[in-house]
Each structure stands twice: as C-alpha cells, then as structure tokens.
Structure 1
Amino acid sequence: MDVSPARSNRMLEAADWQAPDWQAPDWQAPAGAAMVNALSVDVEDYYHVWALSGAYPRDSWHLPERRVDASTRRLLALFERAGVKATFFVLGVVAEEFPDLVREIARGGHEVASHGYGHQKVFELTPEAFTEDLRRTKDLLEELAGRAVIGYRAPSFSICERTPWAYECLVETGHHYSSSLHPIAHDHYGAPDHPRHPVRCQQTGLLEIPVAVVERFGKRLSCGGGGFFRLLPYAWSRMNIARLNRLDGLPATFYLHPWEVDPGQPVAERLPARARLRHYSRLSAMEGKLERLLRDFAWDRIDRRYGLVHTPAVQVDNAPAAAPRLAATA
C-alpha cells in the first residue's frame, strides 16, 4: 500500500471514511450460531493509567510494585477455562520487562497487538515521534511473539481530530488495523460523531474498529467494556451487547485491563474523588462478571473476527439469537 511521504494535516472528514465489505460470508452468523464478538485486553499496569498520573508520574514508574504479569496470567487462565481467544494490545515497556508474558500470550493462540511503547497519548507526540514509537513496539513484539503484529490501539483512545496524520503513520509501519476510537462523548476521550461500525480510511486503506457503542434514548452509550462494564450492573452490558448484535447486526468490540481483575493492587493516595471512584470501584466483582460475559456471548480475536485472518463460525449455548446480516449503518 503506497502512502505519500508528505503527511496531510487536513482534518479527517466523513467523506474520508468508507464502510468495508460487510457482505463477506465469513462475517455472518450462520443459522443457529451466535454472533461472534471481539475480545481485547490492554496490557498495562495500574500505574500506567492516565487517571492515576498524579500519583504515579512517568519519571517514577521504576518504583511501584509490578503486578501486570500476574494479573494478565489470571486473564489468560480465565480465557483458557472459557475456551476463548482474545487480542492483547501490549505496551512496549511491559514487553521489555516481561518478555515471557508476551511469549505465553502468543503460545496460547491469542493475537499479540501493539498498545504503543510507553503509554503516551498520540496527540502528545509529533508524527515523527509517533512513527518511532510504533516501529520500536512492533519490532519488539514481533521478536517475542514470533509472528507479525498488525493491530494497534492508541493509549486512552487518543487518535482524534488533532492527529490527522496518525493513520498514515500506522500504514507506513506495517499495521493493518487500529482499534483506537470510542465513539461516545467522554471527559477523557471520545469521538462522538464517528461511525459506530468498522470503517476503512480512504486516505490510507487502514481499517478502524471502534469500541462497542449503542444508540438509545437519542444518545450513544458505551457497551464496550472498561469502567462502564465494571461499574454498571452486568445486566446493562448484556442487554446492550445483545441489542447491538440483534437489532444493529453488529459485533461488539470489547476491552478490559489486567489491573481490573486485581483488587489487591496498591491504592494511591491524594487522588481526586472521581479518579478514585473510576479506578478502584468493584474490582473484586470484575472476574465474576467476565465469566458471565464469556458464557453469554461468543468471542474471538479482533483479527479473526473482522476478516483479517480466516476463522470458522462459533457455536455457544445460551447465546442471544442469531443476528441479521450485517449492514453498514452508523
């Protein structure tokens, strides 16, 4: 795929995006089978979280207790029990410190993808620095996993109107897709006007796969995981993922973090009340909710679910009814 060496600074507009071929047979749910959704994990430790940056500034990251290895392996065990494969977006700093963890993810049949090197937001980087970040992380992960890394998720969903060059950088560095947009209004991130379904950027050909969102009561509401899944009752997520599958005919792209299944993590002092509530609430309930989610819906890696590699249909018991044929509706 050829990309102009001169990156455009023009803002991306609606006309720059096109829906991919939603009629491809492998993307449909056969009669009697469940709609297959996409499961992902952002592999970072608790002190990497932007909301806790006041307690854990970047220049002190060498000090906190490391917990990401154990908590990620806890997720690997949970997925193994459920018979589920997922995409793991791994930070480069985590891969350097825990190389055997990346190898274990790959040996388990999961997709290894990039979360960038040091959890810097894309809009805080220049195009040149972002490209170097992408290359450094991709090379490291490919060496450890022994396979190509084609996926990327921006820290804090930080690809936005301020980074019109980001997709060109991703294509230049050999990435095939991004899952870096959360199409809702939010105080930390969000692209509320972006399509809710996967779309291909006409400028670059890169596929953008947004986190799951439904439209209800005239508003966009997240059902794609993270704090929304952990803080709200499980019935909320189950209802809205089922709605997305059945009524919209769309798979859900869901995400979580290893620290969300680690209720024993250190509690930072002097945090704003909102940050404390968002980060520490209901950590002890998260693993049980995940087990229910994995039973109630069918899941697979992002690359297989969205046709970047072939995957057979998945049949699960107790799943919501088969969805209609997928349609490119926002």
Structure 2
Amino acid sequence: MLLGNGNSLSVTVDVEDWYHIPSVCGSTFSVYKDVDDFFDNWEYRYDYLTEPTKRVLDILDEFNVNATFFVVADIAEHYPGLIESIAERGHEIACHGLHHACKIDPKTKQPLMSADEFEKRTIEARNILEKISGQKVTGYRAPNALIGGWMVDSLEKIGFKYDSSVCVNSLYNKTDSTLEGVSTYPYYPVKGSLEMGSKRGIVEYPWAYYEFASFKVPTSGGPMLRFLGAHMMLKGLKQSLKRGNTVFYFHPIDLSYEKFPQIGKGRPMYWAIKGNVVEKRLRYILNKINNENINVSTMSDLE
C-alpha cells in the first residue's frame, strides 16, 4: 500500500562533524568562537566524519534511496573529496551553512548577525558547494535548526528555492515565530515570519512529528532517532505522510563507532547513544520504507 495518498518522504542527511555542534563551536555558549578558532587551537585528531559518511552512502545504495545531503561548506576545506563522493553517488547537495554557526540566539531568538552578513556567508557557502559538486544548490537548512523568518526572506532574495529547518513540536521551538497553524507538510511562509502565508518564491519543508492527545512529539530523526528510537520515528513519519510530504533526517556522525573528544559545555549525555545502535535503527526505518512502498524523493524533486 502506498502511504499518504502518494505523498513523499524526503530522506535528508546533515553532514557535519562533532565539533560543529553548538556546545563546541559557533554559538553563544560554545567552547570555541567558531570553526576557525577551533582549528587555530585544536591540536588533536578532528575527523570523525569521513568513515561514517562513506558507510551512510553504502547503506543508502543498499536500500536504493536518493537523499538530500545538507552539507556544511567548510567540509570542503577539511575533508577533501568527501563532498565529491556524495555527489558522485547521485545524491542532492544542499547548504547547511558556511561554518555551522547559529544565526539566531538559542534563548532569545534574536539575530546574531545582520541580514547582509547572513546573505554574504550563505552565498559563499553555496558557491563552494556548487563548484565542488557540479550541482545547482537550491536548498538550505539552518545550523542547529535555529531559523528566523528574516533568514527565509534572505534565502529567497539570493535565489534559494526551499528551506527545511522548521520543527513543530510540544517540547521546544527553535524559531522566532509561534508556528501557529504550521504542520508537517510544505508551505509558503509569510514575509518576515515562519507562519503560513500565500505563494512566494521559497517553500518551507517542515519536519515530521507524531501527535497524540494534542501533544506533538518530534519524530523527524536526528537526536530524537538516538533518544526515542526507530519505532517512534516511524510512527511519526507515517502519520506525517498522511498530512502531506514530510522530512526525515540524520547525521553520519550519529552512526560513528568511535568516542568523540570530551569537550563542550552543558551536554554530557548528548552522544550517549550512537554508533551500531543508531545504524540498526536507520536500517529498520529504511527497510520499512522499502517494504511498505513509501514514496521517497529528494527535496529538489518536490519543487
């Protein structure tokens, strides 16, 4: 049976390494100001990304899934050949920022840079990704899913066709909007906001959730795949597909077998679950997608 009356699930992959998370780099509470500061001062091994990314590519081939990879552009500098390997396997390349820095404050949701600076950095990131991949990059995902309506306006201004950062749920809100009326299916945001509006040049693709008794559990993947498991993710994905096209995501480093360096503030349990456990969960979800004939599309195929 084809779920969702033909609606599609987009499998997406956020390509970033352990030091890109906000407790280490690029936030108001990180150990290092930014990635440049990290590389100026870090004297030890940094690459925990290459091996699990190659394993992810093999897994996606195994299940015949074409995914959208949201790539931090500075990966090009520090991991030669990695972005090329993703593009060569037929996957879509999209933008996950230049250095994975937060653009709005996690607490206040106020901008941490001007719109002009955001546009300048994002254009630079897109140019890097397009040059290396040979693809036209039209999609964006905000680092740490911290997204403001003003950012979507800027993305539209500089030529992006879609954003996929909004996560509606009852536990947290990483946007500068109330998200009233926003669900799990694509919509056009109002100018200057992330509320639902009328047709414009950019589309928002929000993430999946599972709703029961008016409580919305985030089931789009990522950390929730690690903490809540595959069965809850799959329930949310199936429910969201009944509403329309929706999004699942994960990080290659979620599948890493190795222990990451013990630096970073305030998240002692963040990587308590990863590696083989998460790989089994990912395989379970992809197997169910195949066995139940769920439509899978890259983000750009939905434009």
Give the alignment's TM-score, normalised by structure 1.
0.75
In the alignment, is the contact (CA less than 8 A) between 2:97 and 2:141 conserved in 1?
yes
Amino acid at match of 1:40: T
Q: What residue number does 2:179 align with?
A: 193
Task: Considering Cα pairs closer than 8 Å and 6+ residues apart, tell me whether 1 or 2 has the greater RCO.
Answer: 1
Taking structure 1 as reference, are residues 32 and 174 closer, same or farther at Cα in structure 2, changes over 3 Å only?
closer
- Per-residue deviation at 1:109? 1.0
Q: Please give the alpha-carbon distance, in whole angstroms, between the structure 1 residues aligned to 2:264 and 2:14.
A: 26
Q: What residue number does 1:132 align with?
A: 120
Taking structure 1 as reference, are residues 200 and 80 closer, same or farther at Cα in structure 2, changes over 3 Å only?
same
Q: Please give the alpha-carbon distance, in whole angstroms, between the structure 2 residues aligned to 1:302 and 1:81.
A: 20
In the alignment, is the contact (CA less than 8 A) between 1:43 and 1:90 conserved in 2?
yes
Taking structure 1 as reference, are residues 192 and 236 closer, same or farther at Cα in structure 2, changes over 3 Å only?
farther
Q: Please give the alpha-carbon distance, in whole angstroms, between the structure 2 residues aligned to 1:165 and 1:242.
A: 31
Q: What residue number does 1:303 align with?
A: 300
Give the alignment's TM-score, normalised by structure 2.
0.81
Which among 225, 228, 242 is matched to residue 221 of structure 2? Answer: 225
Cα shift readout 1:90-117 (whole Å, capped 9, x = no counterpart): 1111122224211111111110000010
Q: What residue number does 2:156 align with?
A: 171
Larger radius of gyration: 1
Q: Please give the alpha-carbon distance, in whole angstroms, between the structure 2 residues aligned to 1:236 and 1:145.
A: 34
Q: What residue number does 1:49 align with?
A: 21
* Bigger Cα displacement from structure 2, 84-93 vs 64-73: 64-73
Taking structure 1 as reference, are residues 143 and 269 closer, same or farther at Cα in structure 2, changes over 3 Å only?
closer
1:38 is the counterpart of 2:6: no
Which among 230, 235, 259 is matched to residue 234 of structure 1? Answer: 230
Q: Please give the alpha-carbon distance, in whole angstroms, between the structure 1 residues aligned to 2:282 and 2:225.
A: 9
Percent identical pairs in the alignment equals 24
Q: Show structure 2 runs of 5+ residues with no match.
A: 105-111, 192-199
- Per-residue deviation at 1:66? 1.1
Amino acid at match of 2:51: A
Q: Show structure 1 runs of 5+ residues with no match.
A: 1-28, 309-330
Q: What residue number does 2:285 align with?
A: 293
Cα shift readout 1:179-205 (whole Å, capped 9, x = no counterpart): 021112445725662511211135452
Amino acid at match of 2:151: A
1:110 is the counterpart of 2:91: yes
Q: Please give the alpha-carbon distance, in whole angstroms, between the structure 1 residues aligned to 2:274 and 2:95.
A: 28
Cα shift readout 1:243-273 (whole Å, capped 9, x = no counterpart): 223xx3323301111110103042415753x
